[in-house]
Structure 1
Amino acid sequence: MKTQLFDALKVSVLAVVISFGLSYAFAWTAPTATPPTGNVSAPINTGAGLQTKYGNLTVANLGTNSIIVSGSATINDVYITSIGKWASELYPVNLVNGQHTVSQCSGLGGSSVDIGGGNKLCKFASASCPVGWAKYGNWSTTSNTNVNYKLNTVNGDIRGKCKSEYRVCSSGSHIFSNTTKETVVCQTWDKNEWCQDNEYASATAVITETGCY
């Protein structure tokens, strides 16, 4: 009896080992090229040898003694420590109407925005422009405003009975564009001979960003 149990146990263990071996064999992927080709690319390291990265590389801060650009490069601005100036100060890019520059815009905490036709505006995160600057058209960003108001309306079919309903008047909003600030007047046409005391409300959006020049 013990011999039969031992033989059965050996068969079970052997079956488990074979099943694991087959699963690994089927999961294994053959090389796509003959070694040593097809290897994983070497990582960027601290060695002194020349290294080339073919994909994009993003870094938070980059310190270097020199940079050689063999193709084209897009750079927002460059600070030249030897003269204590930004490159945009040497070759200023004017905003619309030519009264201020992109560099002056960024110096005040604004951001330049291309509005088409080769024109740029300075977008400030405020409802007005800094001193010495002017708002350009209706360029702005707004946020929605909600105003609660009460409506007296007929209470079912009961003549002479009114009930109050509270509603919300929403102004609406828009993203940065040449759009006027929204103002909405919320009214109701539920007037009748019993319920005349309706309250009306108006909601005006809040300007959060302004386009200046």
Structure 2
Amino acid sequence: MAAVLLASATAFVLVPQSHHRPSVVTNGIFDGVKDAFSQDVSILEDDRVTPFDRWLGIDVRSEDSKKEQYAIPEDFVDSMDEANYVVAHLPKPMGIVFEENDPSCGGVFVASLAEGGAASNHGNILPGDQLVAVGGTVCKGVDFDACLGYIQASTDDTTKLIFFRGGPNNFYGALGCSQEWLDQFMDKQRAAP
């Protein structure tokens, strides 16, 4: 019967070969390194997860872990799509009740429409629409009194109002249109009759 000499971290043991069992050698800080590098998972399947990351228990995949944080809200309306804007030429009195947005973003929105009023009869203006411009003057972020002042200052038979069909979260802040886009959009609107 042959004998096998096994070495462990603390002692040498002579074990008969017939009773040979694999021994686990512990190396302290390097425990698990072999397992981390011998995973059956392909690097292509786990984007950017390295064996070292698995060994440390770090999941660097942003696709799953950050999905909710960067998810598109269900009520999202693209503020850089001209189809989400409504233009109305209305006589005074217009029959629109405006209300100021939260002071953090400013601006006003349509709170309600007077039944039988010019805005209600127009048919395309809805409660919740954000006032973007009066004539050629942009009202984005402007306070309530200034917006009403622009409407009152209009001396034409009808006043051109431009509305954004979406909430303040879609028009202001991170989801809102860029100033460059808004300037180009307003240049087109000023050129239109």
TM-score by length of 2: 0.23
Question: Which structure dedicates a bigger proportion of its chain to strand?
Answer: 1
The structure with the largest alpha-carbon Rg is: 1
TM-score by length of 1: 0.21
